[in-house]
Amino acid sequence: MTDGPTKRPRGRPFEKGNSGRTVGSKNRKTQILGSLSKEDQDRLVRRAYEVAMEGDPTMLKFLLGGAMPKDRLIHLEQKVFGVFANEAADVIADALQAVCAGEITPSEGAQIAALATQHSNALEKADVINRLDAIEARLPNVRPR
């Protein structure tokens, strides 16, 4: 006896014999939009614009969501970055300062910090590999990689 109904996993895997929607098939919204004439589509867009301009925040968000770029180019005043791993701290400090000044969003600052940290880690790993290769080259009984 079980305590309740068994839960089925959501999404894939499908039931045996059901591979899901075929590749290239359109969902219901795409089919409906495809059946509208160009004039009807233009009328819908104009009406959505009117509703958004009347102050409907949901429609405004919907219209701007597709029109506004997801990412933007960010310029930070920073010297050339890439020679030393410890320069990541300077980049992160500049990003934090830009966030505090309201020049960039906190999520943009976090992305900059993550990139700087990844770059710093890559430089540190390359330095360790170079040092290890130099040590191995001096040892007589070690085979090169």
| Domain boundaries defined on the chain | 28-67, 85-138
Share of the chain above pLDDT 70, in %: 77
User: How confident is the model over 31-64, as pLDDT tens digits?
Assistant: 887 888 888 888 988 998 898 889 888 888 888 7
Calpha distance 80→90 (Å, rounded): 11
Of 87-96, 120-129, 135-144, the one with minimum mean pLDDT is: 135-144
Concatenated DSSP letters for 55-97?
A: T-HHHHHHHHHHHS-S-----------SS-GGGHHHHHHHHHH
User: How confident is the model over 5-30, as pLDDT tens digits?
Assistant: 666 666 666 677 777 777 878 888 88
Calpha distance 75→95 (Å, rounded): 10
pTM listed for this prediction: 0.47
- Largest Cα separation within the chain, whole Å, is 81
- Going 88 to 90 to 91 to 96, the CA torsion angle's sign is positive
